[in-house]
């Protein structure tokens, strides 16, 4: 039995009729055609599906769409403004903090959440915010450097 939800994604309100079992990731990718968030592990371990839900990083593969009712979601597609990359996106490019880029959207959103919530984070706080995101290419050191340079 479908349920109606209202969720704001990247500043746009969406009224959707969804199955109770649909995840936020499925809604974002399949219904809204925002494919920056990826399905990696499907177990809330890798971070490739990270989005900001009411400004907090979450694994969208593990959040039911019905639980996002009334919430604001920011995906990697919503970070750039008027065709200009966000400063975090630009820093990842300039500092080469990616290789295959599969993990990059989740990493960028985790850094954004950290920057928004903790103005002057410690090394431990930076590592904590990035802990839920895995880079299989081994770019963790470059990603940490970008995070340090921005915060």
pLDDT at 102: 84
Q: Topology of domain 87-150, per CATH?
A: DNA polymerase; domain 1 (1.10.150)
What pLDDT is recorded for position 46? 86
Task: Residues 3-78: name the CATH superfamily.
Answer: Beta-grasp domain (3.10.20.30)
pLDDT at 88: 94
Question: What is the Cα–Cα distance from 49 to 130, expressed in whole angstroms?
Answer: 13
Mapped onto helix, strand or coil, the DSSP state of residue 83 is coil
- Please report, for the chain, the start and end positions of each structural domain, with discontinuous segments joined by +: 3-78, 87-150
Q: List per-residue pLDDT tens for the chain, 151 residues long.
A: 999 999 999 999 999 999 999 999 999 999 999 999 999 888 877 889 999 999 999 999 999 999 999 999 999 999 999 999 999 999 999 999 888 888 899 999 999 999 999 988 999 999 998 988 888 888 888 999 999 998 7
Which residues, 6+ apart, have CB-to-CB distance to 150 below 8 Å? Answer: 87, 88, 91, 111, 115
β-pair partners for 23? 64
Report the predicted TM-score, pTM, of the whole model to 2 decimal places: 0.92
Q: Report the alpha-carbon distance of residue 100 to residue 48 in Å, rounded.
A: 12
Note whether 3-78 and 87-150 share their fold: no
| H or E element in which residue 15 lies | strand 12-18
Give residue 41's pLDDT. Answer: 83
Contacts of residue 27, Cβ cutoff 8 Å, sequence gap at least 6: 7, 16, 18, 65, 68
Quote the CA–CA distance of 146 and 151 in Å, as a whole number.
9
pLDDT of residue 42: 81
């Amino acid at each position: 039995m479908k349920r109606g939800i209202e969720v704001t994604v990247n500043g746009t309100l969406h009224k959707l009729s969804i199955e109770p079992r649909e995840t936020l990731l499925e809604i974002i990718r399949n219904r809204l055609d925002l494919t920056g968030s990826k399905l990696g592990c499907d177990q809330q371990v890798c971070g490739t599906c990270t989005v900001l839900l009411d400004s907090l990083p979450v694994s969208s593969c593990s959040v039911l769409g019905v639980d996002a009712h009334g919430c604001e979601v920011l995906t990697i597609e919503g970070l750039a403004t008027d065709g200009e990359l966000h400063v975090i996106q630009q820093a990842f490019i300039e500092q080469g903090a990616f290789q295959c880029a599969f993990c990059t959207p989740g990493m960028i959103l985790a850094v954004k959440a950290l920057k928004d919530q903790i103005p002057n984070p410690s090394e431990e706080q930076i590592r904590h915010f990035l802990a839920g995101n895995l880079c299989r290419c081994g770019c963790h050191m470059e990603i940490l450097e970008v995070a340090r340079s921005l915060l």
